[in-house]
Amino acid sequence: MKRKLFTLITLTLCVLMAVLCLTACGNKGDDAKANQTTAAEDANKGETKEASALLGTWSANEAEGCAYTFEEDCKGVWDAGEGMLMNFTYADKGETVDITYEGASTTQIWEYTIDGADLTMKDTDTGSILTYTKK
Domain CATH for 129: 2.40.128.270
Mean pLDDT confidence for 46-71: 85
Confidence check: pLDDT of 38 > 90: no
Q: Global pTM?
A: 0.62
Total domains in the chain come to: 1
Q: Is the pLDDT of residue 14 over 60?
A: no
List of residues 6+ apart from 82 with CB closer than 8 A: 65
99, 107 contact by CB (below 8 A) = yes
Whether 27 is covered by a domain: the verdict is: no
Q: Residue 108's domain spans which residues?
A: 56-134
41 occurs within a structural domain: no
Is position 73 within any domain?
yes
Q: Classify residue 71: in a domain, yes or no.
A: yes
Q: Tell me whether residue 11 is in a domain.
A: no
